[in-house]
Structure 1
Amino acid sequence: MRERDAEPRRRGRGFEAAAGLLRERIRAAGESRGFAVSRLLTHWPEVVGAEIAAIALPVKIGYGREGLGATLTLLTTGAAAPIVQMQLPRIRERVNACYGYNAIARVTVTQTAPTGFAEGQVAFGPAPKPASHPPEPEIRREAAVLSGGVQDPALRAALEALGEKVLSRPGQKKG
């Protein structure tokens, strides 16, 4: 056996997108919870809008015995439940637009995870950043002095802004 034959064969396609590598796993996981269209899970903010996606997540789709219309279950927090409840007709309309036909007949809201699901919490976005106060004039002057030797005005402005942030950090040794 030649040494070249022992090497694994390359497929020759180069890099592949991560979405392509995970497509089958996402589809299988979605179908196990009743999601025939994985786009509903992977593009949830685009389907229902960012404001609803921030407070509610799709958990499962249950199909009736006759097969006429399904029920989409959304997971949310207690405080956001009334807001989501008011938006149910709009959510149902947008989800059905994602499917391309009237697949969802009802949308229910739950504040806890259904039995057997590990995720019992809605994923929250990052905490809002505290309001920044303008730096003191002496810090601005010091940052301007430090970046004064730079000829490019855009680069100098960026360095001044960086210098102001570094010099105004509390509890740090300045300079």
Structure 2
Amino acid sequence: MTRAPAQPPAKPTRRMRGFEPASGLLKDRIRVVGEKRGFAVTRLLTQWADIVGEDLARITRPVKVGYGREGFGATLTVLVAAVQAPMVQMQLPKIRDRVNAVYGYAAIARITLTQTAPTGFAEGQAQFDPAPPAPKPLDPAVQAKAHAAADGAKDEGLRAALETLAQNFLSRAKTQ
């Protein structure tokens, strides 16, 4: 009986040449950690503000997706400041519809709210973002000088950028 000729060893798989995006290096680790919490679709965590809107994202955080025995659909647990809980409770159907739109089917059947202090407790230490500060009104003289400085630009986008730059520079120079 003759032996089959020895096969050359398979070429080892190589990584991409050059730089790899950081998301590619961390994708598997983030997926494993997310799946431990029930987030099979990490988009729910990473794009929470886009899903529910900026106003709700400031006061809520998704914590866990639990698959129980209650039938079809999972339960999404959302962390919310105790003061904001009644307002969020009224918007739960809207939140559920938006989250299900991300999944593409009725994956979430129920949403439970977990009330906490604004800085959160123990694991996770949820930090709720404060409302953005209101823009300060600009002095009309500064606006006029900025408009005059950017008046020579023909492109509208460039003119707006130059005017904003001039307003920032003139308003800072005035306070110093």
- In the TM superposition, 1:84-99 aligns within 5 A as 84-99=88-103
Paired residues, number = 154
Mapped to 2, the partners of 1:140 and 1:42 lie a distance apart of 39
| Aligned-partner Cα distance in 1 for 2:102–2:143 | 51
Q: Provide structure 1 residue ranges, at least 5 long, that are not aligned to the other structure.
A: 1-9
Q: 2:22 aligns with which of 18, 22, 29?
A: 18
What secondary structure sits across from 1:111 in the alignment?
strand
Which of 52, 62, 66 aligns to 1:58? It is: 62
Partner of 1:109: 113
Q: CA deviation at 1:16?
A: 2.2
2:82 alignment partner, SS class: coil
Q: Distance in 1 between matches of 2:17 and 2:84?
A: 46
Query: In structure 2, do the counterparts of structure 1 residues 18 and 123 end up closer, same or farther at CA, with 3 Å as the change threshold?
Result: farther
- From 120, 128, 131, the counterpart of 1:123: 128
Structure-2-length-normalised TM-score:
0.69
Which residue of 144, 160, 170 maps to 1:164? 170
Partner of residue 28, structure 1:
32
Flag the 1:118–1:156 CA change in 2: closer, same or farther, 3 A: closer
TM-superposed CA distance for 1:168, in Å, is: 1.5
User: By how many angstroms is 1:127 displaced?
Assistant: 3.8
| Deviation of the 1:118 alpha carbon | 1.8
Query: Do the aligned partners of residues 75 and 164 (structure 1) sit closer, same or farther apart at CA in structure 2, a change above 3 Å counting?
Result: same
Root-mean-square deviation (CA, aligned residues, Å) is 3.3
Any stretches of 5+ residues in structure 2 without a counterpart? 1-13, 154-158
Q: Is the 8 A contact 1:61 1:71 kept in 2?
A: yes
2:53 to 26, 49, 65: 49
Larger displacement relative to structure 2 (86-95 or 120-129): 120-129
**Percent same amino acid at aligned positions?**
50
CA distance in structure 1 between the partners assigned to 2:40 and 2:137 by the alignment: 46
Q: Give the secondary structure class of the aligned counterpart of 1:102.
A: coil
SS of 1:25's equivalent? helix
Distance change in 2, residues 1:74/1:162 (3 Å): closer
Is the CA contact (8 Å cut-off) linking 2:61 and 2:126 kept in structure 1? Answer: no
TM-score (norm 1): 0.69
**1:126 offset after TM fit, Å?**
5.9
CA gap 1:24/1:126 in 2 versus in 1, 3 angstroms: farther
SS in 2 for 1:22: helix
Match of 2:90, as an amino acid?
Answer: M
